[in-house]
Structure 1
C-alpha cells in the first residue's frame, strides 16, 4: 500500500507540474523568444506564439545580410525580407551576426542603418549580437542594443581556475560598458549569476529545450523569475526549421 501511495503521489505531482507547464505556454512572449528562426515560413508558422525571434546572419562582401547559420551556406534569403515583415507586425528580433569583426564593422553598421531607415525599423526593436565586443562597440555607440556572444567551453569541462578566468574576462567587458548585454548558452547561467556581480543585462538560450520543457524545469522557472535575464531562446522546430 505504501508503494502504491508513493507512486500515486509522484504521479499527482507530475500531472500538476505538467498542467502548470501547459497552462503557461505562451504567457511570457516578452521573455521567451524563438531560437533560430531562419526561414520566413517558420516566422509565419510561429508568429502567434512567438512575436519575438532570433535570426542568424552572415554579412557578405556585397553588403548583404544573408539569413543563414553557416558562413559556407546560403539560402538566398536576405534580412530585408524580415524587416519588411517587421514593418507591418509587432515584435523584436535578435540578430546573431556570425562574422561581425573589427574589419567589417563599419560597413555592416552603415548597411544596418540604411536598412532600418528604409524599412522604418526602430533600433530598440533589435538585438545585435556578435563574438567581437570591439566590433559591437560601434553599434552600441550608434544606439543599438548589443550583446557579446560568450563562446567558452562548458563549465563542467573547465577547471575552477579556468571558470574564474572566464568570469573575470566577462567582468572586464561589462565594466567597459561597450555592449548592452552578455549572451551565453544556458549551461553558463549559474556560474555567471553567482560570479559576475555586474548589473549588465543577460540573455541566454536553451537550444535543446522546447518551451514546455523549459517551463517544466526548475532552472527554467528560476530564469523566468530573474529580472537581470531579459531573454531566453527556446527550440520549436516546426515544419520549416533550418
Structure 2
C-alpha cells in the first residue's frame, strides 16, 4: 500500500476490525451499483471515499432538476447530462485512486450477466420491482451478495441477500412478482435525508460484507422510520417454493 493510500484511509486502518489487511480487501474489491439516484448517490460516494478499488455504476437516465433534492452526487450544472457520467466525475474527484466504470444502459436480463459475473458485490438502488427481481436472479445465478435497499416517503429498508447459500433467502423470497410498482418515491415522494440515511446504511453493509464484519443483515430486513426515528429488524425465511433460489 502506498504512503498516500495509508494517509487517505488512516482513520479506517486505525480500526482493529479493519487494519491494513481489511483496507487492502476493500481496495481489491469490485462493486456494481445499479441506479445513480437517491440511494446510489450516497452509497457510491461513501464506497469511493472508503477506497473500493473498482466501482461499476449502471444507469440509463439523465439528470433532471427534480432529482437534485435527494440525488446528492449530481449538481445543478449537471442537468441534462447522463447520470453515470455526472456520477463518475464526482467519484473520481473525490478519490482519484479508484477505478470507475460506467454502464450507460437500462439493466435487463440480456446485459445483467455481463455486469454481475465478475464483481464481488452488487448494490441495488433501483426503484421498481421488475428490475429488482432481475438483479436478484442474476445475483443468485452468479453467487454474488446483493445489498438491496428501498426508500419511500419517510421510510426505508435494507437487507443483504445470499440466496445462493442453502439456508439463505433471496429477494424474491421476500416479495412476490406481483409487487406494487406504484409504491415508489416517484409516485409518493420522499424526504431527502431519509434517502441519504438508507443509502449510507447500504454502503455500510457493503463494506461489512466485503470484510465479513459484524451483522451483515443476511436473512434480516432492517426497517427504518424516519418520522419517529425507529429501527426494526424482521427475519426473512427462505421460501421453499421460490422459483429463483430454491428451484429443483
Q: TM-score, length-normalised on structure 2?
A: 0.30
Relative to its length, the structure with more helix (as a share) is 1
Larger radius of gyration: 1
Q: TM-score, length-normalised on structure 1?
A: 0.31
